[in-house]
Structure 1
């Protein structure tokens, strides 16, 4: 069976995820179900760069779309008015388990079943911690953003001093939660272990997920610049300057 990355195709996604997700769902025979669900956050307008909107529009999925930014959420509301299967929620997802805005507590307020098809996480920060906090819900396929500028073998979880979650840290969490990595597109795509036989992935990728890492990401311009900056300026100084800039911008909004 060919590598899933051979099925890369963008309809609304950014790095070929649309094509890969459809191929995964076909192999798992999840596209033919009567009731199908996806959850995505931060959802933006529900369309731009979405990993799941193709499922809503073209495959009759129901969707829980979560967006905290008010301006982006107003756009998401307009999308949901046209696509009635979208449930739009205006809130930020917390990575803290006991928060009233944890992913579990948010999903509990919706009709999404405990076992659902696709979860897409893209919040540019505590993505991995949010996934770790999810205990009572059981998505069959998980797409999660990572910092692909960090090479395999390095353990890193997002913090104030270190931005983004590394490939290896994310893969380790996935294994602990009962998932195998099946693709890396810049995002990591995972599938539940008990479904892997249906996917027919080559054993070498299961035993050594580093083989799935797309090393081209290490040489993208923005990642090279970040690496050079880190060697010159400590990351906490960069974050401090970034936060000051953000505060100044807010004063003039």
Structure 2
């Protein structure tokens, strides 16, 4: 009883915090500033003064600064239908889709395996002025390679969409490989930095896979999940996408379909999206030694 009460108080506090934050910050200040910024990007589109991709990160709703990169991308390539699908979106507020939904009128389909998070997100979006009438669809589901297409299509999304975001901390490689019901113009996906730029590996497929975290070091936990950026890069090429950059922390990769704006947002190397992790193996050797001995599959 006490535990349930504590959870209820925590969720209620979070709900009202987000309500105040969104009403004052997102709508009154951030939305206008973002529109101005996007217009500036468009004006600089074909000039040498257009900022470099790695310099445009901005945190609004995303975990780090993914929001800024997405604003930059869609300022230059525009949108088709403003549809976004995000897999493992939590409560739908701190995720890659949230800013686009709240401040730019996108239609969102957001999945998470935690029902409490989904319910909280639904309540939060009811409070936000810009999403009261047309809130995103938040769905509680455990995503697998076998059910992902059915889950997306039965919830009203198919064909071309503007954005797909995956952050499952699990079998992300196999999930993306399985998706064929939608054709996203942009894909954002989290990669495992431990393997550097050389290895093309992923965790083996298991529909019930759950990430394992190993804390051999106080400041550098190790993660057994996901796939290397080389693996995602190869899969992206097979699917007709190119790597255009990463978030500043260098764990989320941005891919754009090859038929879109190759002159404005060119392909970058895998190495350039791992430069800040060059010494990760040496600084977290205990984690690395242990994780590298766990099952991995070459792809």
Q: Settle same-fold status: TM greater than 0.5.
A: yes
> Per-residue deviation at 1:228?
2.0
Q: Name the counterpart of 2:93.
A: 47
| 1:47-126 equivalences in 2 (<5 Å) | 47-48=93-94, 50-82=95-127, 83=131, 84-95=134-145, 99=146, 102-126=147-171
Q: Equivalents in 2 of 1:37, 1:131: separation in Å? A: 17
User: Bigger CA drift: 168-177 or 212-221?
Assistant: 212-221
Q: Which runs of 5+ in 2 are unaligned?
A: 1-49, 213-223
Residues 153, 181 of structure 2: 8 Å contact kept:
no
Residues 140, 192 of structure 1: 8 Å contact kept:
yes
More strand by share: 2
Give the match's secondary structure for 1:152.
coil
Q: Name the counterpart of 2:252.
A: 187
> Per-residue deviation at 1:2?
3.9
Residues 148, 218 of structure 1: 8 Å contact kept:
no
Change in CA separation of 1:114 and 1:224 when aligned onto 2, cut-off 3 Å: farther
Q: Name the counterpart of 2:64.
A: 15
TM-score after normalising by structure 1: 0.79
Q: Equivalents in 2 of 1:184, 1:229: separation in Å? A: 23
> Per-residue deviation at 1:168?
0.4
> Per-residue deviation at 1:211?
4.4
Q: 1:158 aligns with which of 196, 200, 203?
A: 203
> Per-residue deviation at 1:77?
2.2
> Per-residue deviation at 1:53?
0.5
Q: Equivalents in 1 of 2:86, 2:283: separation in Å? A: 29
Residues 152, 181 of structure 2: 8 Å contact kept:
no
Change in CA separation of 1:234 and 1:148 when aligned onto 2, cut-off 3 Å: closer
Question: Would you say 1:170 and 2:232 are equivalent positions?
Answer: yes
Residues 154, 166 of structure 1: 8 Å contact kept:
yes
Residues 171, 225 of structure 2: 8 Å contact kept:
no
Residues 197, 271 of structure 2: 8 Å contact kept:
no
> Per-residue deviation at 1:220?
6.0
Question: Would you say 1:229 and 2:229 are equivalent positions?
Answer: no
Give the match's secondary structure for 2:142.
coil
Q: Based on CA coordinates, which of the two structures has the bigger radius of gyration? A: 2
> Per-residue deviation at 1:229?
3.0
Residues 218, 224 of structure 1: 8 Å contact kept:
no
Give the match's secondary structure for 1:116.
strand
Deviations 1:169-215 (A, max 9, x none): 00000000000011122111100000033x5134xxx3x62243132
TM-score after normalising by structure 2: 0.67
CA RMSD of aligned residues (A): 2.5
